[in-house]
Every structure is written in C-alpha cells, then in structure tokens.
Amino acid sequence: MNDDLCRLPASTLRDYIAARKLSPVELMKAVLSRAEKLQPVLNCFITLVPEEAMKAAGDAENAVMQGKPLALMHGIPYSAKDLVNTAGVRTTFGSRLYEHNVPGEDAVATARMRQAGAILFGKTTTPEFGHKALTDAPLFGRTRNAWSAERSSGGSSGGAAVAVAAGIGPIAIATDGGGSTRIPAAANGMVGLKQNLGTIPHSQAVDAFGNYTYVTPLTRTVMDTALMMQAMAGSHPSDPWSIGVEPQNYLAAAQADGDLKGRKILYSLTFGNKAVAKDVCAAFEQALARLRELGADLVELAEAVPDMEAVWKVINHTTWRARFDDMIRRDGERMSPSLVRQVAMAMDWTGADYQRAMFQRAEIFRLVQGWFEGVDFLVMPTLSRTALPIDQDLFEPINIDGVEVGELRRNWFPYTMAFNITGHPALTLCCGYDSESLPIGLQFVGRFRDDASVLRAAALYEASEDWLSRWPDL
C-alpha cells in the first residue's frame, strides 16, 4: 500500500486528502519510508527532516478532521533542491563550506509552497552551487539515475528528478540556470519546466536584472507542474521580472481538453547540434507524428542557429567568478575541482566581454521572438542522447551511438541554454525510451509570458501517449 501511495500524482493525492480518503500522516509515512529504503541506492537527498515532516502532517490531518478550509496543496509532501533556502532546514548548496548552513527564512518559492499547505520532507542533491549537468559533490558523493545504477542522474537538479522518478514524493522544487531542471527531468523521464522569466519569483538571484536562473517545478505529470506553478507564481518585490506579472490559470491550462488544430509548431531535430542518437531521432519523429495527429501544423526550422553555448558560457562563468573567486582563493582545496576549473576559465574575460555577451543575449531574444511571430510553439529534443554513464566527467567528450562527439555541455544539451538566455518558457516531458529502456525527453518552448499554452500543449501530448505507465525497476 505504501508503494501504491507513492505512485499517485499530487493532483490525485490532494483530492483524496480533501475527501478524507487519505490521511496526510499515512501519506507522509509512506514517503519517508520509501526515502529511507531508496536513499542508500540512489543517494538523491542531502538532508531528510522526518520529525518536522511528521509533525506538519499531523497538523494537516487535524485541520482536515476539524473541517477547516484547506489550501491548494494541503498535506502534499515535497522536496526542495539544496540550492533553495528553507527556513530552519539545513541548506548546503552542495558545498562543504555550507555544510551546516541553516537559513533564517524561506526563498519566496518555498514560502509559497508552505502557504499552500505543502510539507517539506527533504533537501535533494545538487553539484556544488549547481555548477554542472552531473550530480555529484565532495559533500555527499554521486547521485544515480532512477532507471539505471550505471547512469548519471543528470544535473544540476539530479536529486530532485531522481526522487520524483523513484516515487519518493510526487513533486520537487528544482532550479535551472542552463537546463538544470530539464536535463535531469529528461534523463529520468519526468516533467521539468523552466517557466518564463518572472513567472515564479527568484528571491535568491544575486543579479536580479541580468538574471538567467529560475526556481522551478519538477514533477511526474503536467498537471502536477501546473499545481506547483499555481502555488508559486505571482509578483514579488524581490524579483523585478515578476513585478506586475499576473499568474495565469495553470490548472485549467493543464487539462488535456481539445486538440492542437490551428496551432503551428516549428521543430528542429538538431538546433545547431552536430550529432543526435538514433533512438532520440526515432522518438522525436514519433512525437512529431503524434502532434500532427493532434491537429498541429508542423514546419521545420530552416534558419541557422547561432552558437548559444558560447554566449551562455561568458555570462554564466563571469557570474560565477564574481560569486566564487574570493571563496576559491580561501578554500578552493575543499571545493569541487570542476567548479574551480570553470571559474578559472573566466579569468581572461573582461567586463567588455561580459557586456558583449549581454548584447548577444538581446540579439538571441529578438531572433527567437521573430520565430514566434509566425508559430505557436517550438519543439525539439531535450537531450542529444539518453543518460550518460555514471562516471562521465564534465570536461571529457561524450559518446553518441559509439562515436565520440565532443565535450559534454555543447553536445549533450544544446537545446536548453538558449531559453535561459531569452526567458521563454520551456518544458520537457517523456516521449519514449531507448533500446536500453532509458527515457527520452521532448521539449516544448512557448511564446514569451505564455506558460499556460505550453502546459496545454504538453498535457495534450502527454495524454496521447502512455509513457507514464512505466516505472523504474528499483
């Protein structure tokens, strides 16, 4: 029964709790039991808080039994990536330097989840300060993919994706600075949304105006993503991009009603990439066929795609240098060598180089905006291949169909970084499995400030297939 509970989506669990068919205490016990059982195998948590979670579940159950008004996510367990501040709960950023750090206040996103009645039960693994698409750090070790112990979880929200994929809690807060939600979501067959810039306030962004990072939902279903967005979205004075942005009705948008007739989709298999795995190509073609069956008019992107990674790297690495250079000078020997090496890459870049990259960011935004003048969605794979080997190094080349194709970042996820730069909403969900039964991701990108339409398109595709009936063999 415990495992059955852990396979239900949050949208169903909330209905059961409200109808008194399910006790929040029973649910939390099931989640914590599964976390305890699978943590030694998957290593997807840095911190679990069972006592606090059970107390909150007891309070939630009392409120139900007393007939009190229930909030949107009353009694629903969730985890949060260990980059996101949680008041009174250890938040390490995956770093030995913050091993005992306990924030005094929540990030806006976690505060809103708390206000919506959701209950935090653990903090999920992240590479140090979320610096790479592989989830390992000196503080906690390595996180394994939910589908194969021989594969990486992806990153940097690897722990969040694995926890949801393994049924340890239905939903998770993640973050995305270059694909860090969508990469592990795709590698583990989950739904990962990088919403529009400003939809969910990012109160921890150190450069609020030049921000390209996002606090995000990571779930198993599109409806659960909508549920989290409904809780977390809305204007907040800490984030200038959020001010004046009214939340949409995400729950209504995520209903799989109707079809895609009259909608035009621009698609690209490569998006400027050199190599894509055969299994990814086949799954992508099958997904395009399904979108045609749903009524969409599909047009292939013929325009050359600029080198987004080069622009993203200058912006990202100089930001890291400003944040971490002093820290590295003091304590670099205690930090992840891959983070130290990337900060060193920025040493030769000047303020003018950074500003030129920001000029290019504006050009890329205008290019993508131009595409959306004639189409409703842009669709592409999320990753060029399925999950990488567990011992993959960030700086070593990756292998696609037996061929060495080049370094990881540029060749595995060229599809994701562009939309951190431009701010457009981008969502990944499962579109099949490869010959080794590893999940393959499909990415929907939508018009600026139109998260709701992305949810609708993704929900219609999700309902047209049966990919979610599969669970990893743990």
User: How many whole angstroms separate alpha carbon 42 and alpha carbon 134?
Assistant: 14
Q: DSSP state, 390?
A: T
Q: What is the mean pLDDT of residues 379-387?
A: 98
Is residue 391 over pLDDT 90? yes
What pLDDT is recorded for position 342? Answer: 97
Better-scored residue on pLDDT, 3 or 18:
18
Over residues 148-158, the mean pLDDT reads: 98
Contact yes or no for 216/416 (Cβ under 8 A): no
How many other C-beta atoms lie within 10 A of the C-beta of residue 52? Answer: 14
The stretch 72-91 carries a mean pLDDT of 98
8: Cβ–Cβ under 8 A, 6 or more apart, which residues?
16, 170
d(CA 147, CA 156): 17
pLDDT, tens only, 26-47 = 999 999 999 999 999 999 999 9
Containing 311, the helix (H) or strand (E) segment is helix 308-331
User: What are the tens digits of pLDDT across the range 195-208?
Assistant: 999 999 999 999 99
Measured in whole angstroms, the distance separating CA 453 from the mean position of its chain's CA atoms is 18
The reported pLDDT for the residue numbered 29 is 97
- Name the more confident of 274 and 232: 232
446 in Cβ contact with 453 (< 8 Å): yes
pLDDT, tens digit (0-9, with 9 covering 90-100), for 427-468:
999 999 999 999 999 999 999 999 999 999 999 999 999 999
163-220 pLDDT, tens per residue?
A: 999 999 999 999 999 999 999 999 999 999 999 999 999 999 999 999 999 999 999 9
Interatomic CA distance for residues 150 and 41, integer angstroms: 12
Rounded (to 5) percent helix, strand, coil in the chain: 40, 15, 40
* Sequence ranges of the domains in the chain: 2-315+321-469
User: How far apart are alpha carbons 129 and 456 in whole angstroms?
Assistant: 33
The CA distances from residue 228 to 104, 133, 199, 212, 363, in Å, are: 23, 23, 12, 20, 32
Q: Supply the pLDDT for residue 3.
A: 76
Report the alpha-carbon angle 297-300-304, nearest 5.
Answer: 150
The vertex-115 CA angle with 114 and 121, nearest 5°, equals 15
Q: Packing angle between helix 337-345 and helix 308-331, nearest 10 degrees?
A: 120
Q: How far is CA 196 from CA 202, 215, 245, 425, 465, in A?
A: 12, 11, 10, 4, 26
Active site residues: 81, 156, 180
Q: What's the chain's Rg over C-alpha atoms?
A: 21
189 token code pair: 């067959």
The answer to whether residues 89 and 51 touch, using CB atoms and an 8 Å cutoff, is no
Phi, psi of 89 (to 5 degrees): -120, 130
Q: Quote the percentage of the chain above a pLDDT of 90.
A: 99
- Each residue's pLDDT tens digit, 258-315: 999 999 999 999 999 989 999 999 999 999 999 999 999 999 999 999 999 999 999 9
What does the DSSP assignment read for 64-117? HHTT----TTTT-EEEEETTS-BTTB---TT-GGGTT---SS--HHHHHHHHTT
Cα–Cα distance, 35 to 408 (Å, whole number): 30
> How much is the average pLDDT of 145-155?
98
- Give the confidence band of 133 by pLDDT, cuts at 50, 70, 90: very high
With a cut of 60, say whether residue 1 has pLDDT above it.
Answer: no
Does domain 2-315+321-469 fall under CATH 3.40.190.10? My reply is no
C-beta neighbour count of 26 within 10 angstroms:
15
Rounded distance between C-alpha atoms, residue 418 and residue 308, angstroms: 6
Alpha carbons 427 and 180: distance in angstroms, whole number = 12
* Band (406; pLDDT cuts 50, 70, 90): very high
Q: CA–CA separation, 156 vs 182, rounded Å?
A: 9
Which string of b and e fits 269-305 if b means at least 16 CB within 10 Å? Answer: bbbbbebbbebbbebbeebbebbeebebebeebeeeb
